[in-house]
Amino acid sequence: MHLTDPLTLLFFVLGLVLGSFGNVLIERLPKNKKVSGRSKCPECKKQISNVDLIPVLSYILLQGKCRNCSEKISIQYPLVELGSGILFVIALLITPASVFSAIFLAVILWLMLIMSVIDFKTHTIPDALNISFVILAILYSYVTGYIPILAPLIAAGFFFAQWRISAGKWVGSGDIILAAGIGFLLGNWEYVLVMLGVSYIAGSLVALPLLLFKKKGKKEHLAFGPFLAIGTLVVLIWGDQILRILI
Question: Is 205 near Zn ion (CB under 5 A)?
Answer: no
Residue 40 CB, shortest distance to Zn ion, in Å, is 8
Task: List, in sequence order, every residue forming a beta bridge with 47; answer none if it has no partner.
Answer: 40
Q: What is the DSSP string of 179-209?
A: HHHHHHHH-SHHHHHHHHHHHHHHHHHHHHH
Binding-site string for Zn ion from residue 61 to residue 90, where x marks contact by CB under 5 A and - marks none: -----x-xx-x-------------------
Q: Please spell the DSSP secondary structure of 88-125, one letter per residue.
A: HHHHHHH-TT-HHHHHHHHHHHHHHHHHHHHHHHHS--
Residue closer to Zn ion by CB (options 52, 119) is 52
Q: How far is the CB of 43 from Zn ion (least distance, A)?
A: 4
Site for Zn ion in 131-160 (CB under 5 A): none
Q: Binders of Zn ion: how many residues, by CB under 5 A? A: 7
Question: Cβ of residue 23: shortest distance to Zn ion, in angstroms?
Answer: 16
**Footprint of Zn ion on residues 28-57 (CB under 5 A)?**
41, 43-44
Provide CB contacts within 8 A for 230, sequence distance 6+. Answer: 198, 199, 202
Task: Report, in Å, the least distance between residue 72 CB and Zn ion.
Answer: 10
Residue 33 or 65 with smaller CB distance to Zn ion: 65
State which of positions 206-245 bind Zn ion (CB under 5 A).
Answer: none
Closest CA to 121 of 201, 30, 208, 211: 30
**Closer of 49 and 98 to Zn ion (Cβ):** 49
Closest distance to Zn ion from the beta carbon of 50 (Å): 16
What phi, psi does 167 have (nearest 5°)? 55, 45
Instruction: List, in order, residues 6 or more apart from 4 with CB less than 8 Å away.
Output: none
Task: State CA 75 to chain mean position distance.
Answer: 17
Query: For Zn ion, which is the closer residue by CB, 71 or 240?
Result: 71
Q: Give the shortest CB-240-to-Zn ion separation in angstroms.
A: 48
Where does this chain bind Zn ion (CB under 5 A)?
41, 43-44, 66, 68-69, 71
